[in-house]
Amino acid sequence: MTKPTAFRGTFLFALGIFAGLFLSNLRPAFVSRAAANAQDGTKKSAPDLAAMQADIAHLKEVVPSQSHTMTDVGYQFANLWFAGKQKNWPLAEFFLNEARQHIVWTIHIRPIRRDNNGGAVDLPSIFEGVSNGPLKDLTQAIAAKDETQFQTTYKQMLDACFACHQASGKPYLRPIIPQAPPQTIISFDPESKGSK
């Protein structure tokens, strides 16, 4: 394992723990406010607009940027390559579904981006085309357990990702076939029997 790969894995793991702890700390504030209102016993005819606006402003402050969610997409998609190469089809399906969910999360964060000229880039429309094209083909290749088709459709997905990056004014984000798995704690071997 190389030092950059180990550092990246450790960094992503620590980032996940930090995000989980941070988000779990948000819940008590909302629950305590709801409990206080319930104990108050009063029914307000309208919600407290100022409190709602403050909550919305706070949520906007803590939502991760698209770069964070796209880092997750890259992580899942790189692992997908190694799972497919090892013909570990259940694991490949898992990583594909995780990547898909993180792409959707990314789009929810900012559905419309601005390109370098200030034009609108409609990410939901782009993803609809990708979802009905290369992503669907990749899903079918995994379901068919077809290694050759998997490799072809994986590369087509990388091209689709790059096209989206170009449309978003970020042509320098060019995905490639990964050289080393970012995940070193999960075995990609479909015959693996545990920690050995």
Domain span at residue 153 reads 66-167
* Structure-token match 């919600």, residue found: 47
For the cut 90, the answer to whether the pLDDT of residue 40 exceeds it is no
pLDDT band at 4 (very low <50, low <70, confident <90, very high): low
My answer on whether 42 and 98 are in the same domain is: no
Question: What pLDDT digit, counting tens, does each position of 54-87 carry?
Answer: 998 888 888 777 888 899 999 999 999 999 999 9
Domain-embedded: residue 75: yes
* Average pLDDT of the segment spanning 19-46: 57
Q: Residue 68: name the closest of 121, 17, 4, 19 by CA.
A: 19
Q: Which residue has the higher pLDDT, 155 or 63?
A: 155
The answer to the question of residue 172 being in a domain is no
Asked if residue 6 has pLDDT above 70, the reply is no
Q: How far apart are CA 76 and CA 16, in angstroms?
A: 13
Degrees to nearest 5, angle at CA 47 with 42 and 53: 140
Cα–Cα distance measured from residue 127 to residue 133, given in angstroms and rounded to the nearest whole number: 10
Regarding whether 139 and 163 lie in a shared domain, the answer is yes
Q: Is 188 contained in some domain?
A: no
Are residues 54 and 70 both part of a single domain? no
CA 169 from centroid of its chain's CA atoms: 20
Domain count, the chain: 2
Three-state DSSP class for 65?
A: coil
Per the prediction, the chain carries an average pLDDT of 84
Return the pLDDT at 178: 97
Same structural domain, 160 and 81: yes
> Do residues 122 and 164 lie in contact, with contact meaning Cβ atoms separated by under 8 Å?
no
Residue 81 is assigned to a structural domain of this protein: yes
pLDDT reading at 36 higher than 70: no
Q: pLDDT tens digits, residue range 97-149?
A: 999 999 999 999 889 988 888 899 999 999 999 999 999 999 999 999 999 99
Output phi, psi for 122, to 5 deg: -85, 95
